[in-house]
């Protein structure tokens, strides 16, 4: 049955790596099993194979801006599985460097989000998505920026305090 929420344990991590273009180069066992795809289907596929339509574009824009600039980012992400089920994660995405300091790919480690954090995120993402539907990513970006300035927090301060 589709549209069912899948979960995983507090002591488990979902790990994947991508190349510079976001194509999957590695996934741990949990990444593969929860996705519903086979390892063969996942490897070399773009990471948006798991994209859920309810994820605001602005979050991915932020993610790519950060990691392409050599910085880490924490983000809450709703993913869609092959069978049209979904699961929420709290992701830590980082660039990977070679020994001459060049970025050679990206790495994401995800843990299970808390219910309290998800309540805040779901309502924020809902607002961002509505903004995006009417005014595109420019609108959702200004909604996000306004939200953060009202809280007097940076994105990182906000996310890490949830």
Ligand X SMILES: Cc1cc2nc3c(=O)[nH]c(=O)nc-3n(C[C@H](O)[C@H](O)[C@H](O)COP(=O)(O)O)c2cc1C
Residues at the site binding ligand X, with contacts judged by CB under 6 A: 16, 18, 22, 47-48, 50-51, 55, 57, 60, 63, 67, 77, 79, 93, 106-108
- Cβ closer to ligand X: 3 or 150? 3
Residue nearest to ligand X (CB): 48
Q: How far is the CB of 63 from ligand X (least distance, A)?
A: 6
Tokens of 59: 């979050």
Q: How far is the CB of 110 from ligand X (least distance, A)?
A: 7
Q: Is residue 30 exposed (0-12), middle (13-18) or buried (19+ Cβ within 10 Å)? A: middle
Q: How far is the CB of 45 from ligand X (least distance, A)?
A: 10
- Cβ closer to ligand X: 18 or 140? 18
In the numeric block, the tokens 């979050």 are attached to 59
In the numeric block, the tokens 């069978």 are attached to 83
Q: How far is the CB of 147 from ligand X (least distance, A)?
A: 21
- Cβ closer to ligand X: 67 or 159? 67
Q: What is the dihedral of CA 35, 10, 4, 87, to 10 degrees?
A: -50
- Cβ closer to ligand X: 117 or 153? 117
Q: What backbone phi and psi angles, to 5 degrees, belong to 6?
A: -100, 150
Q: How far is the CB of 149 from ligand X (least distance, A)?
A: 25
DSSP per residue over 85-126, as a string? -EEEEEEEEEEEE-TTS-EEEEEEEEEPPPHHHHHHHHHHHH
């Amino acid at each position: 049955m589709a549209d069912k929420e899948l979960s995983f344990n507090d002591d488990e991590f979902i790990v994947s790596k991508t190349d510079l273009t976001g194509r999957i180069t590695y996934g741990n066992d949990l990444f593969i099993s929860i996705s519903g795809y086979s390892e063969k289907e996942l490897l070399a596929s773009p990471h948006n194979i798991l994209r859920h339509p309810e994820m605001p574009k602005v979050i991915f824009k932020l993610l790519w801006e950060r990691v392409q600039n050599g910085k880490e980012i924490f983000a809450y992400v709703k993913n869609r599985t092959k069978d049209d089920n979904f699961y929420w994660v709290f992701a830590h995405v980082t660039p990977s460097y070679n020994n001459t300091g060049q970025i050679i790919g990206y790495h994401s480690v995800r843990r299970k989000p808390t219910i309290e954090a998800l309540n805040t995120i779901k309502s924020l993402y809902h607002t961002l998505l509505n903004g995006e539907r009417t005014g595109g990513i420019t609108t959702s970006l200004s909604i996000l920026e306004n939200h953060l300035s009202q809280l007097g927090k940076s994105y990182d301060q906000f996310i890490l305090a949830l």
